[in-house]
Amino acid sequence: MKPLLTLADLDDQLSLPTPGVLATLRALDGDVLVLGAGGKMGPTLARMVRRGLDEIGRRDRRVFAVSRFSSAAAAAELQRHGVQTIACDLLDRAAVQALPDAPNVIFMAGQKFGTSEAPELTWVMNTLVPAIVAERFARSRIVVFSTGCVYPLVRADGPGSHENDALGPPGEYANSCVGRERVFTHFAKQNGTPTLLFRLCYAIDLRYGVLCDVANKVARGQPVDVTMGAANVIWQGDANARAIQCLAHAATPPLALNVTGLQRVSIRWLAQRFGDLFGRAPIIAEHEGATVWSWDATRSYALFGPPIVSLEEMIDATAQWVRQGGATLGKPTHFETTDGRF
């Protein structure tokens, strides 16, 4: 990983296409439509597709980023990088029907934070929007962003959740994500739509993520809650690359895929590691619980190999980012939550 000093450097690194992305884009025809592209990952994922198509000499193929785009600056930045933006409310059936056809769809829309205050909106976004999209793009291949939180918590001293394990998570948010998967699966079977359920946890952007949360608490002398004793993480650029490559693995019935790091990372160890890097002892709060959210990502490693960016590189880059006062998105992951309430 190159040294990251500015937001532009970071976004450039997160959107750098991998050899696997280039191979996938060569093998697939047609435009790419990214739905819900205005969130944390959408802009860099859309840029990665555009950069990849340019690199293989397919500038004729279009990349569409679809979002409400409440920020005109966010849309303008994507346009500056050759991505065509479309402002659209995905709850508006007529607006979704008017979207351009594309054989390759990456669905990233959804709601997590605020579920405790407005659970009905979370259910609408995570189950009704998928129905509208699945009907509209029945003839496309669709990669559906989901979450590892669709599984129940597992024993901290046992294996992580596997794709074949039964779903049964705590909390309304995670259950609505099961609903999203069920809706897409129903329409995939009904319409023969190749689909892949992309169960991601936790993507690391230096502005957001488990490492960002822990590092900033250690740097500020704030307690680090270790009730959720461990987590799996993956660099957001690697997660973007895997999502794009998953277009080639969409199937009917849908394939489910855990996307994260193989290594289960102790939160206590992580706090101590950042303490060493910052030269201050971390403050540890609570005690590790008997269960964690953890995942077995062996299947995705068999398909794509190991991520480009290692855990140590992520830790070092996060520490550097915090030291220089790098921006954050101001949205804690709440990874320490054990009851599924967000």
Q: What is the SS3 assignment for 85-107? A: EEECCCCCHHHHHCCCCCCEEEE
Please report the pLDDT score of residue 115 as a whole number.
63
pLDDT-above-70 percentage for the chain = 98
The helix/strand/coil state of 234 is strand
The helix/strand/coil state of 338 is coil
C-alpha closest to that of 106 among 240, 209, 257: 240
Show the tokens assigned to 20: 């696997």
Q: How confident is the model at residue 337 (pLDDT cuts 50, 70, 90)?
A: confident
Show the tokens assigned to 197: 């359920």
* Alpha-carbon gap, residue 152 to 138, rounded angstroms: 30
Q: Where are the domains positioned within the chain? A: 7-204+234-260+294-304
pTM score, whole prediction: 0.96
Q: How confident is the model at residue 156 (pLDDT cuts 50, 70, 90)?
A: very high
Mean per-residue pLDDT, 242-252: 98
Mean per-residue pLDDT, 102-131: 90
At residue 2, does pLDDT exceed 90? no
Each residue of 269-308: pLDDT tens digit?
999 999 999 999 999 999 999 999 999 999 999 999 999 9
CATH 3.40.50.2000 for domain 7-204+234-260+294-304, yes or no, is no
Each residue of 20-69: pLDDT tens digit?
999 999 999 999 999 999 999 999 999 999 999 999 999 999 999 999 99
Three-state SS string across 241-274, please?
HHHHHHHHHCECCCEEEEECCCCCEEHHHHHHHH
Dihedral-angle region of residue 71 (phi above 0 means left; psi in -120 to 50 means alpha; beta otherwise): beta
